[in-house]
Structure 1
Amino acid sequence: MNLISRNTFNSAQDCALYNRIAWRILPFLFVLYLVAFLDRVNVGFAKLQMAADIGLSDMAFGFGAGVFLSATACARSPATWCCSAWVRGSGSPAS
């Protein structure tokens, strides 16, 4: 089964190579996505016990969750930019 269409490539060898790479990378990426999802869900579940145990107010938890989200968003943009530059084949993101 091909993940990538044959029409995308000039030769059958290139198509076969990219399909082998995709079949090896996609399961790993799926596991990473699952772990990231569980991490985000865990923050919500942690609030249920943590707020009562340490006396955390809703405002303090909201601030902490906002800082977590902001840090994630700030790290995601440069990472996406670097990955897209790498996929294009340029040596560095500045190219």
Structure 2
Amino acid sequence: MARTDYTPPQDTSRLFARYKRIREQEAELRPEVHDMAVRELRGGATVGQLARLSGLTPEYFRRIAREEGIERLRPPTVRPLKDDTDADGA
């Protein structure tokens, strides 16, 4: 059970406050990052390149590309779990 009289040490308070500020700054930047990603993906950048530049995951940029209808530069390397030609389940 949580203590109601908890007072964090100063170093804990400072670290968590710093982390909170950074997260708030990240939230403010997300729309700009999104718009820039759309522009760069349309210009030929890959999701991997943008991921390396930003520290975000390639999947973050894949989602943006799908949402914006941006064509893939290459076919996906992962096959579907179920083969579409196997309609009878055998």
TM-score where L is the length of structure 2:
0.33
TM-score where L is the length of structure 1:
0.32
Higher helix share: 1
